[in-house]
A and B are shown apart, each in its own frame.
Chain A
Amino acid sequence: MLEFIPRPAPSAAARVRTTLGALLAGLGLAALAFLFMGVDPVKALASILAGSFLSPYGLGETVTKAIPLILAGIGLSLAFTGRLWNIGAEGQLLAGATAATAAALLIKDSLPSFLTIPLLFAAGGVGGAALALLAGWLKTRWRVNEVIATLMLNYICAEFVQYLIYGPWKGPTQSGFPYTDNFAASAVLPVLGATRIHWPTLLLALAAAVGAWVLLNRTRFGFELRAMGGNPDAAAYAGMDSSRTTLVVLALSGGLAGLAGVGEVAGIHQHLTYPWAVSSGYGYAAIIVAWVAALNPLLAVPSGLFLGGIMVGGDAIQISMGLPAAAISLFNGLLLLSLMAGEFFLTYRPRWRRA
């Protein structure tokens, strides 16, 4: 009979092994799914790889997509560490994009670039944080479950962005398209060479990874956050203010997603556009980023690159193999499920025993 024995404490090596194993299993499941869709899985996986990591253009795109994933993934790592299930990175990213757009449309070209761009980031960070704080207020003041609060706000935000781009913010210069006017050149983020990598956001993401790691592991706030996530009753017993911690971590988490939104509008589109174009599901994919990274902000960087590669590769096979866009969501779902299953083998060791 197969038995499962609890393991006292998984080692770092076991953690890496399990995560890699789970990702491989996820890829295997995805290959099976491709098979059912009538697509040669080897060819599909090969073209995902070729499209994302093995060509200079693909690599550039992978890094570009990794930027919002890393930022939002770091934020979610923080929130999830406190057992706060912020599923609203998607909406918070949109809120950041919207706030940055408001700033850009207001500033136009009245300020030089070195002032405009920080202002955009500040506005976006505040926008994302404000939306997350709204969910935090609903949770701490009204005991509304944060999963539902953040998700509902995602939908509301998407509708609001559409209202803006079809209504009051519709740009007269966009020949009828539902976009805002383009940002002034001073509000557009610089990119690396021929790529679309808007490096100021990338730098911000890398700095955020380090900053969040320090915050989590070296500060009193991080200490209280880990305590709250590990055992909320003990945190209360020890005199920690969980409402405050909840609000602060949600603000941080939303703020980081907001920064990601700034990168998308100011670095990629240069105007506010359809919500699903501003964020092609980054907010949801960031959940996987955080989980692959085992909620470690530093590991969110490689994990964000990995997920970015999958998104780029997904786009590539959509075009080359005629797969629907939803294939990527399917793929992501399989990956996350395998990771969840893998977790079990970290805390339990299988053992055969004669009955």
Chain B
Amino acid sequence: MEKSVSPDLLTDTLTRTLAAGTPLLLGTLGEICAERGGVINLGVEGMMAAGAVAGFGTAMATGSPWAGLAAAIAAGAGLALVHACLSVTLKANQIVSGIALTMLGLGLSGVWGKPFVGTPLSARFTSVEIPLLSDLPVLGPALFQRDPVFYLTVALAAGLAFFLRSTRWGLILSTVGENPLAADSAGIPVSLVRYSAVVFGGALAGMAGGYLSLVYVPSWIEGMTAGRGWIIIGLTIFAGWEPWKAVLGSLLFGGIDVTQYLFQAAVPPNFLKSLPYAATLLALMTGSKNASGTAAPPAALAVPYRPGER
């Protein structure tokens, strides 16, 4: 068996894995950011859907995939702003608010996207070849001849990891998520930090949606997010709120997405389609075992901050 795997198939599998993993990684990075700040946003599915349709519509209208990506980011960020307002300012239940946001996002995307159904995307990203590296066998085509958003995502992952670990703002963010009272008493504007984290997280979720409709598929169909937003919530826990572990998790789940194509002949398609969902549950089951150690959620996750009350 081993020997019959051609380099082409290997390259192809890797390419598809990375393509499927990219939106997952983007969304997970965004959710990590929001949750490290102490706000859980279950509206990822809705923000992604809104991002997907906004990205597609704008790219079609302007002819520029970059404009589309910007619109996707704006759509995700805009919806996240609603969640931030509810959960930070109005101290609403973050779980239910996130679900409401999902309904809103899926609804908006369905309404806006109706005219786009079945239209192929005319404005696409051209792939960028990294000199020298792209000539590597197997890895070259899979890693270094890709759309620019892929590189951007990798850079974002590295950037966020560095941001959280080694910068003043990263320290502030994680203090706000661990002990908002301590942050407040150090003179840090807790609400502003939380707003920023949630909106930035939403921007990445929107970008993830944009990746789906601009690069991955590329077209618009209703329900194209297909539960990826929820898988992202699971991945955030699985990654223990660490960006670099999110990279591993996204690769894993990107791979699971691709196995669907590999086993098409042998297994009923509905079972294959269930695979990512079942894998999410499995990942969280295994994750819980080592969660007793370091990978505990931010101490103030989903707890609204109420200063000056008793």
Task: State if A and B touch, Cβ cutoff 8 Å.
Answer: yes
Binding site for B on A (CB under 8 A): 6, 33, 37, 85, 87, 138, 142-145, 147-149, 151-153, 155-156, 159-160, 162-163, 166-167, 284, 287, 291, 323-334, 336-337, 340-341, 343-344, 347
Q: How far apart are A282's CB and chain B's nearest CB, in angstroms?
A: 13
Q: How far apart are B145's CB and chain A's nearest CB, in angstroms?
A: 33
Q: Do A343 and B92 touch (CB < 8 A)?
A: yes
Partner of A152, one of B97, B99, B104, B280: B280
Q: Do B291 and A149 touch (CB < 8 A)?
A: no
Q: Do A145 and B107 touch (CB < 8 A)?
A: no
Q: Do B111 and A142 touch (CB < 8 A)?
A: no
The secondary structure that dominates the A interface is helix
Q: How far is the CA of A347 from the CA of B114 in the complex (A)?
A: 40
Closest A residue, CB atoms, query B91: A344
Q: How far apart are A350's CB and chain B's nearest CB, in angstroms?
A: 11
Q: Do A334 and B104 touch (CB < 8 A)?
A: yes
Considering only residues 71-111 of chain B, those with a C-beta below 8 Å from chain A are 82, 86, 90-93, 95-97, 99-111
- Known A152-B281, A163-B268, A344-B92; contact A147-B42, beta-carbon cutoff 8 A: yes
Binding site for A on B (CB under 8 A): 42, 46, 82, 86, 90-93, 95-97, 99-111, 114, 222, 226-227, 230-231, 233-234, 237, 268, 270-271, 273-274, 277-278, 280-281, 284-285, 288, 291, 309
Q: How far is the CA of A156 from the CA of B273 in the complex (A)?
A: 8
- Known A162-B270, A337-B86, A341-B86; contact A144-B285, beta-carbon cutoff 8 A: yes
Closest B residue, CB atoms, query A148: B234
Residues of the A chain whose Cβ atoms lie less than 8 Å from the Cβ of B274? 155-156, 159-160
Q: How far apart are A284's CB and chain B's nearest CB, in angstroms?
A: 7
Partner of A160, one of B95, B111, B226, B270: B270
Most chain A beta-carbon neighbours within 10 Å: one of B104, B114, B285, B288: B104
Q: How far apart are B246's CB and chain A's nearest CB, in angstroms?
A: 16
Q: How far is the CA of A53 from the CA of B257 in the complex (A)?
A: 45
Q: Do B270 and A327 touch (CB < 8 A)?
A: no
Q: How far apart are B280's CB and chain A's nearest CB, in angstroms?
A: 5
Q: Do A340 and B92 touch (CB < 8 A)?
A: yes
Q: How far is the CA of A163 from the CA of B270 in the complex (A)?
A: 6
Q: How far is the CA of A147 from the CA of B99 in the complex (A)?
A: 10
Residues of the A chain whose Cβ atoms lie less than 8 Å from the Cβ of B86? 337, 340-341
Partner of B271, one of A142, A159, A343: A159
Q: Do A331 and B95 touch (CB < 8 A)?
A: no
Q: How far apart are A331's CB and chain B's nearest CB, in angstroms?
A: 7
Beyond known contacts A163-B270, A324-B114: 13 more, CB 8 A cutoff: A142-B288, A152-B280, A153-B277, A153-B281, A159-B271, A159-B273, A160-B270, A324-B110, A326-B111, A333-B107, A337-B104, A340-B92, A343-B93
Partner of A148, one of B82, B96, B284: B284
Partner of A145, one of B237, B268, B271, B277: B237
Q: Do A326 and B284 touch (CB < 8 A)?
A: no
Q: Which 3 A-B pairs have the closest CB atoms?
A: A326-B110, A330-B107, A333-B104
Q: Do B90 and A341 touch (CB < 8 A)?
A: yes
Q: Do A151 and B107 touch (CB < 8 A)?
A: no
Q: Do B268 and A167 touch (CB < 8 A)?
A: yes
Q: Do B99 and A142 touch (CB < 8 A)?
A: no
Closest B residue, CB atoms, query A327: B111
Residues of the A chain whose Cβ atoms lie less than 8 Å from the Cβ of B106? 326, 329, 333
Residues of the B chain whose Cβ atoms lie less than 8 Å from the Cβ of A331? 107
Q: Do A332 and B107 touch (CB < 8 A)?
A: yes
Residues of the B chain whose Cβ atoms lie less than 8 Å from the Cβ of A163? 268, 270-271
Q: How far apart are B27's CB and chain A's nearest CB, in angstroms?
A: 14
Closest A residue, CB atoms, query B309: A6
Residues of the A chain whose Cβ atoms lie less than 8 Å from the Cβ of B82? 337
List 9 contacting pairs A-B, 8 Å CB cutoff, sorted by A: A152-B281, A291-B96, A326-B111, A326-B222, A329-B104, A331-B107, A333-B106, A334-B104, A340-B86
Q: How far apart are B94's CB and chain A's nearest CB, in angstroms?
A: 10
Residues of the B chain whose Cβ atoms lie less than 8 Å from the Cβ of A143? 288, 291
Q: Do A330 and B271 touch (CB < 8 A)?
A: no
- Known A6-B309, A163-B271, A326-B222; contact A144-B281, beta-carbon cutoff 8 A: yes
Q: How far is the CA of A324 from the CA of B106 in the complex (A)?
A: 12
Partner of A138, one of B222, B230, B273, B285: B285
Q: How far is the CA of A305 from the CA of B231 in the complex (A)?
A: 33
Partner of B107, one of A87, A138, A155, A327: A327
Residues of the A chain whose Cβ atoms lie less than 8 Å from the Cβ of B95? 85, 147
Q: Do B104 and A330 touch (CB < 8 A)?
A: yes
Q: How far apart are B56's CB and chain A's nearest CB, in angstroms?
A: 15
Q: Do A326 and B109 touch (CB < 8 A)?
A: yes
Closest A residue, CB atoms, query B234: A148
Q: Do B285 and A142 touch (CB < 8 A)?
A: yes
Closest B residue, CB atoms, query A336: B100
Residues of the A chain whose Cβ atoms lie less than 8 Å from the Cβ of B230? 148, 151-152, 155
Residues of the B chain whose Cβ atoms lie less than 8 Å from the Cβ of A147? 42, 95, 233
Q: How far apart are A347's CB and chain B's nearest CB, in angstroms?
A: 8
Residues of the B chain whose Cβ atoms lie less than 8 Å from the Cβ of A287? 96, 99
Q: How far is the CA of A328 from the CA of B103 in the complex (A)?
A: 9
Q: Do A329 and B285 touch (CB < 8 A)?
A: no
